[in-house]
Chain A
Amino acid sequence: MSELALPVAISFDAFTSLGFWISVGIFAGTFTIFTLGLQLNVGYTGIFNFGQAGFMAIGAYSMAILVTDKGMNFWVSLPIAILITMGFGLIVGLPSLRLRADYLAITTIAASEAIRLTALNARDLTGGAQGIFGFGDSWDEVADSIEGWLEWLGWSNPDNLAPLLIVVWGVALLLTLTLSKAQRTPWGRVLRAVREDEDAARALGKNAFAYKLQSLMIAAALGAIAGFFLAVNLAFVVPDSFGPTFTFLGYAVLVLGGLTSYWGVAVGAIILQTVLEGLRFLELPISEVKVSALRFVILGLVLIGLMAFRPQGMFGKREEMVIGD
């Protein structure tokens, strides 16, 4: 944002740069994985989980602490961090999933803020506001070998973020496929039954609470995986990355793509990230603070507009919308 920019000089150059699209792609992939958890919870189980950013924080911090503090192998730390996060999902879910929809939303948001504040204040464990870095060596080795393959395939001098882009989308698509398949199993049908009418599901002998708990714990695991990609992408973990705004962004992705559509999540994530990151790179004749403010004003307006005029999003089915109690 140079001071010398002419008042009306708006440049779209960013959109022709490969680096821009790779960066957008990585964030969109991360958001896809993050929001798949919300889709499972909100779209298919009818539980309003507003603490997904907290689960992401637990995943990323667990991995970073295990690797840097405990000297654990990066690849071993990942499944352990996922298990820890699912444990947190259990802790959050056990008391709160019995609550009514809006209370659950408040409780989960408070839980995720409590996690963020802990990350900020428990300095010995989390490094406080400075956060943790230096956990990515094992990933860098793998990234180097992927870059080698890309060169062998004929891409001379590949972008050094290209491996991350490939892996994040590989994982995102695999998870989307798995969840879509799982939704068509008896297990997935019970989830929907719980969403539509919990009492009826219970009358049929299904333990509705257990299903809701499973749904939340799987979402927590997805949050943790998104957290790994965010951490590797940024090369550090700091409390600021895990504010409630991240969860709200996830909800924007969710409703843009459409409730009850796992494939819509990826589409929503790509569109939202393109718009938000695109705004960052546009050379608008205003200061950077104003540009970043404008991005979130637009995000807010998108949310309001979607909810007012097309609550089912692009690919959602209106008749499957959770209307609430």
Chain B
Amino acid sequence: MEAGTLAPGEDASPTERLRDFGRKRPALVALGVLATIVLVLIAWKGLHSVAQRGLIGLSTGSIYALGAVGLTLVYGILKLTNFAHGDFLAFGAYMAYLMSVTWELPLLLGIAFAMVMTALLGVVLEKGMWGPMRARGAGILQLILMSIGLALVIRYGIQYFWGTELRNLDVNKTDTVELLGLRIGRTQGIVILVGFITLLGTGVMLRYSLLGKRMRALSDDLDLAETTGIDTSRVILWTWVFAGAFAGLAGVLYGATTQLQPEMGFELLLPIFAAVVVGGIGDAFGALAGGILLGVVVEWSTLFIDAGWKSAVGFIVLILVLVIRPQGIFGKARAL
């Protein structure tokens, strides 16, 4: 409680001090709350089922995290709430389907194709749509409605070519692997691995590489970054490349563990938004953690409620965080 004593007003009451501590160390408080929840869960439902659900949650969580990191960077840098981001994931999944199932090429090539094509989509849209709109000083509502229009074009473009039927990528969905007595689908295991390696790589890139630092600088304050001589338009393009490639990858991973259908993008959009908000909008590291956290929490909720309600849990987390702590559980208190 040392941090609390440094607060203005030495004679503050314990509850005020506690609140002040929470304001200064949100991540620590979040961790404490989470640890308490986990302990209660384990005491109630047993270690095995909590760990088992948690593991499955990691696989959806890494998909959310991959989607969220791109969305949050785009938001942070361009102040664009991209409602079409979920459909970027769907686009990627269908690109992989096109290459690996329709053209019968190896799936790995399909994944690469999905990432390249979705990144390309992001860049083309930036050049053709978002860039010019920003130059004209478009307002929030204009940009939101444009992104919704774009979402409809992508989603129903997919429906036009591939129809509404469920489609499967050519992956093994029946084999399971066992680890410390926990059982998980082999594909889900691969998703966790790929997801975590990519997320780790992203974290390192953002933290240490020049491009990553520039991205975060732009996300903090675009004008200030520009005055320090950063070539902002180049960084913006790279941001779209990252956002697109990760969205494409996340889409393929999601498609591999479930099925492909045109609506999949919209179904993913709100959990991804939730992950972004939990991590603090614009905060890339927060989005990574928020995504994984959300995936696990949503999966844990199925210990208590019917799986049909699962997506509602994501929305409730989203609304609760926005209402209680709109700057996200990791973000510092900022004027909003």
- B157 interface neighbour in A117, A244, A293, A322, Cβ under 8 Å: A293
Contacts of A102 in B (CB 8 A): 81, 140, 144
Secondary structure of the A side of the interface? helix
Chain B residue nearest in CB terms to A117: B312
Beta-carbon nearest neighbor of A294 in chain B = B160
Residues of B within 8 A of A293 (CB): 156-157, 159-160
Interface string of B305-333 (1 = CB under 8 A from A): 01011011001101100110010000000
Using Cβ atoms and an 8 Å threshold, which residues of chain A touch B155? 296
Given contacts A105-B81, A322-B139, A324-B141, contact A248 B159 (CB under 8 A): no
Q: Which of A110, A244, A292, A308 contacts B319 (CB 8 A)?
A: A110
Cβ A95 vs Cβ B153 within 8 A: no
Interface status of A72 (Cβ within 8 A of chain B)? no
A106, A290, A292: residue with the most chain B Cβ atoms closer than 10 Å: A106
Given known A106-B273, A324-B140, A325-B140, contact A296–B152 (CB-CB < 8 A): yes
Interface residues as binary, A283-325 with B (CB distance below 8 Å gives 1, 0 otherwise):
0000001101111110111111011100100000000011111
Closest approach, in angstroms, between the C-beta of B262 and any C-beta of chain A? 8
Would you call A304 and B322 a contact (CB within 8 A)?
Answer: no
Closest to B139 in A: A323
B152 touches A101 (CB 8 A): no
Residues on the B chain within 8 Å of A135, using CB: none
Q: How many A-B residue pairs have CB under 8 A?
A: 145
Q: For the side of the interface on B, what is the size category?
A: 35 or more
Cross-chain contact B81 with A251 (CB below 8 angstroms): no
Known interface pairs A308-B133, A308-B146, A324-B139; A297-B160 also in contact (CB < 8 Å): yes
Is residue B5 contacting chain A, with contact meaning CB distance below 8 A?
A: no
Contact check: which of A96, A106, A251, A325 meets B145 at CB < 8 Å?
A: A251
Distance (whole angstroms) from the CB of B286 to the closest CB of chain A: 15
Please measure, in the bound complex, the distance between the C-alpha atom of A137 and the C-alpha atom of B270, giving whole angstroms: 39
B254 at the interface (CB under 8 A from A): no
Given A117-B309, A121-B309, does the pair A307, B318 have CB atoms closer than 8 Å?
no
Q: Is A235 engaged at the interface, CB distance under 8 Å to the other chain?
A: no
Beta-carbon contact of B149 and A304 below 8 Å = yes
- B293 proximal to A (CB < 8 A): no
Expressed in whole angstroms, the minimum distance between the Cβ of A44 and any Cβ of chain B is 13
Known: A102-B81, A106-B277. A255 touches B145 (CB 8 A): yes
CB–CB A118/B322 < 8 A = no
- At the interface, yes or no: A111 with Cβ under 8 Å from chain B? yes
Query: How far does the alpha carbon of A240 sit from the alpha carbon of B322 in the complex, in Å?
Result: 27
The answer to whether the Cβ of A196 comes within 8 Å of any Cβ in the partner chain is no
| Contact A251 B133, beta carbon cutoff 8 Å | no
Cα A255 to Cα B146 in complex, Å, equals 11
A179 interface residue (CB < 8 Å to B): no
Q: Which residues of A contact B148 (CB under 8 A)?
A: 248, 251, 300, 303
Q: Of all chain A residues, which has the CB nearest B335? A: A100
Q: Please state if A101 and B319 are interface contacts (CB–CB under 8 Å).
A: no
Q: How far is the CA of A324 from the CA of B146 in the complex (A)?
A: 15
A110 touches B144 (CB 8 A): no
Roughly how many angstroms separate A120 CA and B308 CA in the complex, as a whole number? 9
Contact B309 A113, beta carbon cutoff 8 Å: no
B245 within 8 A of A: no
Indicate if the CB atoms of B152 and A113 lie closer than 8 Å. no
Q: Closest CB of chain B to A50's CB: distance in Å?
A: 8
> Could you say which residues of chain A place their CB within 8 Å of the CB of B141?
42, 48, 101, 321-324
Q: B-facing mask of A106-125, CB < 8 A → 1, else 0?
A: 11011101100110110000
Tell me whether A300 and B144 are in contact in the complex, defined as CB-CB below 8 angstroms, given that A107-B322, A117-B311 are known contacts: no
Given contacts A120-B308, A251-B145, A324-B140, contact A107 B156 (CB under 8 A): no
Any chain B CB within 8 A of the CB of A187?
no
Please judge, given known A-B contacts A106-B81, A106-B322, A121-B309, whether A304 and B146 are in contact too, CB under 8 Å: yes
A174 contacts chain B at the CB level, 8 A cutoff: no
**Using a CB-CB cutoff of 8 Å, which residues 68-107 of chain B contact chain A?**
81
User: In angstroms, how far is the closest chain A Cβ from the Cβ of B7?
Assistant: 25
Q: List 20 A-B contacts (CB under 8 A).
A: A48-B140, A95-B319, A96-B323, A99-B326, A101-B140, A102-B81, A106-B322, A109-B270, A110-B318, A114-B312, A121-B309, A245-B152, A289-B159, A299-B149, A299-B152, A303-B148, A303-B152, A306-B145, A311-B139, A323-B139
In addition to A322-B139, A322-B141, 16 A-B residue pairs with Cβ atoms within 8 Å of each other are A96-B323, A99-B322, A99-B336, A103-B281, A106-B318, A110-B273, A110-B315, A110-B319, A111-B319, A118-B312, A248-B148, A297-B160, A299-B152, A303-B149, A308-B132, A323-B140
What residues make up the interface of B, taking CB atoms closer than 8 Å to A? 81, 129, 132-133, 137-146, 148-153, 155-157, 159-160, 163-164, 266, 270, 273-274, 277, 281, 306, 308-309, 311-312, 315-316, 318-319, 322-323, 326, 336
